[in-house]
Amino acid sequence: MKVYGLFLAGIGIFFGVIGIVYWFLSYEDGGFAMLIGSALLGLLPGSYYLWWSRHMKPQADDDPDAVIAEGAGEVEAFPSSSIWPFILGMGALFTVLTFVFGLWLAPIGAALILSAAIGGTVESRRGGAV
């Protein structure tokens, strides 16, 4: 956990430094905002992981002498193939196409997204095809 936190915090610091240098050398707001956003995307989860690494027992990733078997957990079940991710993607497609072709596609996209959310949840609870 600590390794992941340090890696993400390092990415955040890198993008923060690059963003500040970019601000002073280019005087452009859009790129600066995106670089600072990237820095926050690294610093927020990185600091969260570092905070939790103090409160948890050390993970196998944190031990340099650990073997691979220590980091492997017990896998209880693998999910089977499902149609619901495809339906969710089609709902997202119809929802985005609403901006191009008009609001008449919005109900179709909303219905597909809602049915995919319900179907995926029911399928994961039952452990099989719905």
pLDDT single digits (tens) 21-60: 999 999 888 999 999 999 999 999 999 999 998 888 877 7
Report phi then psi at 77, rounded to 5.
-160, 145
Residue type, 20: I
pTM exceeding 0.75: no
Asked if pLDDT for residue 117 goes beyond 60, the answer is yes
pLDDT single digits (tens) 59-106: 777 777 878 777 777 766 666 788 999 999 999 999 999 999 999 999
Q: Are 129 and 80 in contact (CB under 8 A)?
A: yes
Per-domain boundaries in the chain: 2-63, 84-126
